[in-house]
């Protein structure tokens, strides 16, 4: 999954190896460079710090997951397809569980990591054949992020080779999330419909306001005022 033929891959692999041996807060950039057989200049050329290396790992997982993604089978519902995609991601993460435990426990909040995580959710939706663009895509992405974050914590503590607890938690959260998503998307459609109707009302009002008023000629006005007619 991690391409160790490249400097970036070697640095990511070194960081994950060290995270299995040490608390992540104690792993330094020079430790990572030394373990990778590279220099700090090599790190600087590829990453701007430890959080960026973690984001590089997440990107590598995304790439590996998308390479093996297949079009959902006929008759397979969105929830089942998403279940398969997420469990495939956990399969890829399993060899790095101890390192991820260390990183999650010690990593400082990183706004860029949030963006990276949301991007991962979008791609997982796409891998499951679920549209992830537009306003609905935003709602689905945020909903999946909530589901995944909850199940990820369960997975970190699940040492069963078959990941039974993880699968049970994922199934439960996806079913609950599906119900919540249907309600939210229904509310979004209602708001969007109201917005379109309101826009139509204002658009019509602007057209009426901009239409020039009918005017009479000065002679007609005078004739009307004196009561004369031709």
Of residues 184 and 49, which shows the higher confidence score? 49
Q: pLDDT category, 214, cuts 50, 70, 90?
A: low
Q: Answer yes or no: is pLDDT of 22 > 80.
A: yes
pTM above 0.85, yes or no: no
At residue 224, the pLDDT reads: 47
Neighbouring C-alpha atoms within 13 Å toward the C-beta of 22:
12
CA-CA distance, 143 to 13, in Å (whole number)? Answer: 31
CA-CA distance, 167 to 161, in Å (whole number)? Answer: 12
Q: Which domains does the chain have, with CATH numbers?
A: 7-194 (1.10.357.10)
Instruction: Tell which residue, 1, 16, 4, 208, has the closest CA to residue 100.
Output: 16
At residue 195, the pLDDT reads: 46
At residue 204, the pLDDT reads: 59
As given in the structure block, the two tokens for residue 144 are 């999946």
Q: Answer yes or no: is pLDDT of 41 > 90.
A: yes
At residue 199, the pLDDT reads: 54
């Amino acid at each position: 999954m991690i391409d160790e033929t490249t400097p970036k891959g070697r640095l990511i692999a070194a960081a994950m190896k060290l995270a299995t041996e040490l608390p992540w807060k104690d792993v330094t950039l020079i430790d990572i460079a030394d373990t990778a057989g590279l220099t700090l200049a090599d790190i600087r050329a590829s990453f701007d710090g430890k959080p960026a290396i973690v984001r590089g790992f997440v990107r590598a997982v995304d790439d590996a997951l998308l390479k093996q993604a297949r079009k959902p089978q006929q008759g397979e519902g969105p929830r089942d397809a998403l279940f398969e995609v997420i469990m495939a991601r956990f399969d890829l993460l399993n060899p790095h569980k101890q390192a991820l435990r260390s990183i999650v426990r010690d990593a400082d909040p990183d706004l860029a990591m949030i963006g990276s995580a949301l991007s991962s959710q979008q791609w997982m939706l796409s891998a499951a054949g679920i549209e992830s663009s537009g306003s609905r895509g935003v709602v689905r992405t945020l909903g999946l992020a909530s589901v995944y974050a909850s199940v990820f914590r369960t997975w970190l503590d699940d040492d069963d080779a078959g990941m039974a607890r993880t699968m049970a938690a994922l199934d439960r959260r996806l079913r609950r999330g599906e119900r919540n998503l249907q309600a939210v998307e229904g509310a979004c459609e209602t708001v969007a419909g109201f917005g379109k109707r309101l826009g139509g009302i204002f658009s019509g009002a602007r057209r009426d306001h901009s239409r020039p008023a009918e005017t009479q000629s000065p002679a007609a006005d005078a004739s009307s005022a004196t009561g004369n007619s031709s």
